[in-house]
Amino acid sequence: MNFPLADLRGVVDLLGDTLGPAVGGEAQRVMSHRELVDALAVVERLGRITDAARLALAGEVGRRADSEFGDDAITAQFGCWSAQELVERTTLVSSSTARARLRDAKAITGRVTLTGQTRPAPLEHVRAALAAGRLSADALTTIVDALRPLQGRCSVDELEAAEFELVGAAVGDAEAPACGIHELKVMATTWALFLDPDGAPR
């Protein structure tokens, strides 16, 4: 599937035309409590979808900035020293935001081997939930921060089991609502201690 760049530009213009005057005119002041809470949830979902796209695109920038691309690296083409600088210049975010975005993106970015084979993202369940607009950026960072240090310290199956459970808790289902970030951090810490109690490589 091709990236819908032209359509996306149209959506951004439409959102700007729709939300800009409403928010600027403080239309939220006349909403009922129910409407306000519903709008809060809808806009948050929009933000999650946007966050997913931000990370996916940043991850691809990071991949194309690898030294294996040589003079064809995206950083060389745009006169930047690093992927972080390119993200900063393009998006006008702070260096810390660009760095964090690229760091988190590594966990959900698949790799292409030298033979052209596509390998899945290190945290595939996280990637799928994020792409579906079900996982927040805060939840993603919480899971990534807990599981990244465990790579190489526990088995792939153990790591995937922890990831699956944490993503499930973060997004919720028909039987159990999504947990809050504080609860997720406690769960992530518990998993990390369970899988690697002494912090030593296995």
> For the chain, what percent of residues have pLDDT higher than 70?
97
DSSP run (H or E) holding 105? helix 95-106
Burial of 159 (0-12, 13-18, 19+ CB in 10 A): buried
Helix, strand, or coil here: 196?
Answer: coil
| Number of CB atoms found within 10 A of residue 195's CB | 18
Q: What is the DSSP letter of 112?
A: E
| Number of CB atoms found within 10 A of residue 12's CB | 11
Amino acid identity, position 128: A
Tens-digit pLDDT profile for residues 130-161: 999 999 999 999 999 999 889 888 899 999 99
Burial of 112 (0-12, 13-18, 19+ CB in 10 A): exposed
Task: Parse the chain into domains and list their residue ranges.
Answer: 31-106, 123-202
Tens-digit pLDDT profile for residues 63-97: 999 877 888 899 999 999 999 999 999 999 999 99
Asked whether the predicted pLDDT for residue 202 surpasses 60, the reply is: no
Asked whether the predicted pLDDT for residue 124 surpasses 80, the reply is: yes
Q: pTM for the full model?
A: 0.84
Tens-digit pLDDT profile for residues 29-67: 899 999 999 999 999 999 999 999 999 999 999 999 987
